[in-house]
């Protein structure tokens, strides 16, 4: 009976280790794809960032006015 419990615990630990390894590998793949996307579409990324600056400043102004109103 005790041996069965130990075997089940070992299976649970093996599943946790496999799950962790899978998550790490998936994370590394996503990091690599993200870096590749940034390198590939650098000019497009800069265009989007420049386009968002105005909207960010408007949002910052609205938040500042809301805080000042209180």
> What pLDDT is stored for residue 42 in this prediction?
95
> What pLDDT is stored for residue 6 in this prediction?
63
pLDDT, tens digit, 9 for 90 and up, residues 20-65: 999 999 999 999 999 999 999 999 999 999 999 999 999 999 999 9
For 44, the token pair is: 């497009």
Domain ranges of the chain: 2-69
Higher pLDDT, 19 or 7: 19
- R_g over Cα of the chain: 25
Contact (CB, 8 A) for 38 and 45: yes
**pTM as predicted:** 0.61
């Amino acid at each position: 009976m005790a041996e069965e419990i130990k075997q089940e615990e070992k299976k649970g630990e093996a599943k946790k280790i496999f799950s962790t390894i899978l998550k790490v590998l998936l994370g590394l793949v996503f990091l690599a794809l993200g870096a590749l996307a940034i390198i590939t579409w650098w000019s497009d990324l800069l265009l989007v960032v420049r386009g968002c600056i105005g909207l960010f400043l408007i949002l910052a102004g609205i938040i500042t006015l809301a805080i000042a109103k209180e």
